[in-house]
């Protein structure tokens, strides 16, 4: 039985490595109420998905009403809009946030 051992340097990160990773990984919202972003982000994604599901449902009902027994035809499927990519706006990394604060401090 082969046991793979991970080197100590790979298992444990130094505090400097952890700090660098946190600078890139952690995000800060640029809005007045940062907790609102955390609560509203799932709602935003759900609204976009709901819009797409509603559109597909109306297409399917129209196809059934026209007498197409198999449902949606390939021509109708081409009219379905692709999934929207939900983008986070007003968000920047912790590194960018700290750099902006330091820049503001230097300005007279």
Q: What's the whole-model pTM score?
A: 0.50
Following DSSP, what letter does each residue of 74-94 receive, concatenated?
A: HHHHHTSPPPPPP---SEEEH
- Centre a 10 Å sphere on the Cβ of residue 10 and count the other Cβ atoms it contains: 8
pLDDT tens digits for 26-72?
888 777 777 887 888 889 889 988 988 898 888 888 878 877 756 66
Per the listing, tokens 């809009």 go with 81
* pLDDT for the residue numbered 105: 92
């Amino acid at each position: 039985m082969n046991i793979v051992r991970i080197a100590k340097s790979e298992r444990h990160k130094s505090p400097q490595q952890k700090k660098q990773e946190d600078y890139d990984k952690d995000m800060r919202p640029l809005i007045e109420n940062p907790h609102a972003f955390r609560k509203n982000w799932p709602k935003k994604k759900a609204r976009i998905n709901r819009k797409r599901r509603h559109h597909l449902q109306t297409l399917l009902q129209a196809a059934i009403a026209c007498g197409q027994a198999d449902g949606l035809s390939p021509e109708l499927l081409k009219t379905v809009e692709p999934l929207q990519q939900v983008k986070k706006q007003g968000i920047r990394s912790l590194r960018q946030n700290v750099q902006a604060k330091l820049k503001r401090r230097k300005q007279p």
